[in-house]
Structure 1
C-alpha cells in the first residue's frame, strides 16, 4: 500500500485586522520567527527560510511554489488549519485563494482548529481574544455551506467519496454528534457519501462518546509528549514553577524545560501504537521558542537521516499495523514552532528529500 504523506499547514503568513489589533500593525507569523533568540549553545534559533523567503500567503505564486515543492518531493497534500468561530472566520484567505486558482496543483483538506484564541504568546493565557462557540443546526449548516465549494473541488482530499475533515478538539464540542450527523446528511444531499471525519489524537484522553469518526490521526510530537508517565509530567510541572520563581527572584534566564533529543521522542512515538484504522503521525522536530521564549518546549531538530529513518518506520507501522496509508507530518510550515518541511538555511531541502526517498520505496 503506497503511503500518502499529508503535511499540516499553517495559514498565518499574511496580515489580518484582528492580528494587527492584538499584536501590532503588520503582524504575521514571521514577526515571531525573526525575533527568536537562541537559549543555549548550538540552539538553532532563529529559524531562517532558505534564501530568506519570508513569503506572503496572499500571493498565489507562493501557493504555486509550495505545490511544486510538495509534488516534486512526494508530499501528497496539505492539511490546512481552518479557523471558524460560529460564523466568524480568521486566516481564511490562503484557502480561498487556492480555491480561486484551480490551476495550482495542491491537494488539500482541513483541520478545524476549534480552540479559542488567547494571549498565550505573552503569557496571558486567560485573556481570550476570540472565543469559541458551536451554535445549533442553523450555525452548523452555515459552516457546512461555506466549506461546500472546497469539498466539491477536485483537489480536496476524499476517502470513498467522503470529504476528509479533521477536528482538533472534539471533546470541546458539547453537541458534536448532532453536528456531525447534520453534516453527514448535508454531505449526502450534495452528492457525497457523507463526511470522512477524523479525530485528532493529542494525548491520553480520547472522546468517550460514540461519535461518527471514520478514522483517527496521531498528532505528533504532542501525542507522545503528553503520554509520558504521570510522575514525570508532575515532576516537570513542579520544576517549571521552581525555575520560573528562581528567574523572577534572581533576575536570571534559565529555560523552564529541558530539550528533548529527537531520537528519544521518535522512539517513544513508535512504541505508542494506535488502533487499526488510525492514520500515522510524524514530526520533524519541535521548538516554539519564537512564541514561548524561556517557557518553550524543544525537540531538537533531526539530521536528514534521523528523520528519514523515523519516517520510514512510521510509514511501515501505518501501512502494516494500522492498515491505512495516510501519514500526517507536523508540519509543512510551522516556523514559529520549529516544525518545517519547507527548506531552511540549516537543513536545506533535506527533510523533503527524506520524504521522497521513503515514498519512492513504495513505487
Structure 2
C-alpha cells in the first residue's frame, strides 16, 4: 500500500469581517509575516514568498495555483483546516471556491476545534468560543460537510470520508457524535466515516472508541512527549543563554534531534485503528509571537528529504495510509512547502524526488 502525503492547509490568506474587527482592517496571515523582524544576525525572518507572491485565497486563480503546484511536486492532497463554532463558520470562503475548480487536488478536512484567543499578543482574551451542541448541531455540521464528502476529489479510506479532529478530548460527546455521523454517512451511500484523532502537544491519548485511527501532529507532539531528560536539559541551557544575550523569551530546538526522535518512536498499536504518521518542514513562529517565539535551528532542504524519506519507510512498515505534513502554507509558523526567497522550490522539490525514488523502487521490485 502506498502511503499518501497530505499537507495541512491554512485558509487564512484573505480578509473577512471578524479578522478586520479583531486584528485590524485588511488583516490576513500575510500581515504577520510582513511585519516580522529578525531576532538575531542571520535569523531567517521575515519569511517572504518567492517573487513577492502574496496570494489572496479569495481569488480562485490563486487557489488553483496552489493546487497545481502541489500536484506537480508530488503532494497527494490537502488537509484543509476547518473552523466550525456550533454553526458559525470562519475561513470558509477558500473552501467554497476550491470546490468549483475543475482541476482541484484531492482534499479532506481537519476540524480545528479550538477557541480563538489573542494568544499572539500573550493574552487569554477569547475572540470566539468553541462550544459543542448535541444532535441538532451534529446534523447541521454534517449537512455542511455532505456536499464535500460527495465530491469525487474528497479523500476517502475504504469508501469512508476522511475527517481529522484536532482535539477530541475537548468534545464531551465525541464518541456519540462520530457514531451519529457514521450512521448518516451510511444513509448517504458511504461505508461510514473515517475519523482520525490527533496526538498533539496537548493530547497524547485517544478518547473515542468510534474513531478509525490517529495521526501524529508534528513537531508539537514530539516536542511535548518524546524528548529525553538530557535533551530537555540541553534545550534549557541553549535557550537560557540565547535569551540572556538577546533579551528575548524564546524556545528553540534542534531540527535534527526532533526529527530523529520522530523517526525512532514506538507507535501505539490499537486493535482495528490505523496509525497515520506526521512530519514537518521547519518551524519558526516569530511572525506571530515575536520575542516569545518558538523556533528550530538547523533545518535545510537536504535534511528534510532525509528525514521525510525515513518517515516514508516507517509508514510502509506500519502500512500507514497517510503522512500528514505540517504544512503547505503555515507562513506565520515558518513551516511551509511553498517557494520562498531563501530556498525557492528546494523543499517541495525534495518531495518530488522522494516520490520518484519510490516509483523506481516499486518498478525494481
TM-score (norm 2): 0.91
SS in 2 for 1:114: coil
Which one of 280, 288, 292 corresponds to residue 291 of structure 1? 288
Structure 2 partner of 1:150: 148
> What displacement does 1:32 show?
0.2
Distance 1:311 1:120, change over 3 A: same
Structure 2 partner of 1:268: 261
Q: Deviations over 1:54-98 (max 9, x none)?
A: 000011111111111111110000000000000001000011111
> What displacement does 1:99 show?
1.3
Instruction: Say whether the 8 Å CA contact 1:2–1:362 is kept in structure 2.
Output: no
Instruction: Say whether the 8 Å CA contact 1:169–1:200 is kept in structure 2.
Output: yes
Which one of 173, 176, 187 corresponds to residue 174 of structure 2? 176
Structure 1 partner of 2:108: 109
Q: Deviations over 1:271-325 (max 9, x none)?
A: 22323531111101100000001111101362221110001000001111x2113
Which one of 308, 312, 331 corresponds to residue 315 of structure 1? 312
Which one of 347, 353, 357 corresponds to residue 343 of structure 2? 347
Distance 1:120 1:230, change over 3 A: farther
Distance (Å, rounded) in 1 between the aligned partners of 2:15 and 2:232:
37
> What displacement does 1:353 show?
0.8
> What displacement does 1:233 show?
6.1
Instruction: Say whether the 8 Å CA contact 1:202–1:219 is kept in structure 2.
Output: yes
Distance 1:237 1:144, change over 3 A: farther
Distance 1:262 1:150, change over 3 A: same
Return 5+ residue gaps in structure 2 as ranges: 360-365
Instruction: Say whether the 8 Å CA contact 2:108–2:162 is kept in structure 1.
Output: yes
Distance (Å, rounded) in 2 between the aligned partners of 1:89 and 1:226:
30
Distance (Å, rounded) in 2 between the aligned partners of 1:243 and 1:344:
27
Distance 1:253 1:263, change over 3 A: closer
Structure 1 partner of 2:325: 329
After TM superposition, the structure 1 stretch with the greater mean CA deviation from structure 2, 172-181 or 263-272, is 263-272
Alignment of 1:1-363 (within 5 A): 1-101=1-101, 103-124=102-123, 126-203=124-201, 205-207=203-205, 209-227=207-225, 228-229=227-228, 254-276=247-269, 277-300=274-297, 302-320=299-317, 322-363=318-359
Q: Deviations over 1:216-253 (max 9, x none)?
A: 11111001111135797699799989999x8xxxxx95
Distance 1:128 1:235, change over 3 A: farther
Distance (Å, rounded) in 2 between the aligned partners of 1:178 and 1:5:
30
> What displacement does 1:255 show?
2.6
Instruction: Say whether the 8 Å CA contact 2:195–2:211 is kept in structure 1.
Output: yes
Distance 1:9 1:208, change over 3 A: closer
In the comparison of the two structures, how many residue pairs are matched? 354
After TM superposition, the structure 1 stretch with the greater mean CA deviation from structure 2, 29-38 or 273-282, is 273-282
TM-score (norm 1): 0.92
> What displacement does 1:261 show?
2.4
Instruction: Say whether the 8 Å CA contact 2:168–2:207 is kept in structure 1.
Output: no
Distance (Å, rounded) in 2 between the aligned partners of 1:182 and 1:46:
45
Structure 2 partner of 1:249: none
Distance (Å, rounded) in 1 between the aligned partners of 2:232 and 2:203:
15
> What displacement does 1:257 show?
2.8
Instruction: Say whether the 8 Å CA contact 2:168–2:174 is kept in structure 1.
Output: yes
> What displacement does 1:264 show?
1.4
Distance 1:182 1:234, change over 3 A: farther
SS in 2 for 1:314: helix
SS in 2 for 1:65: helix
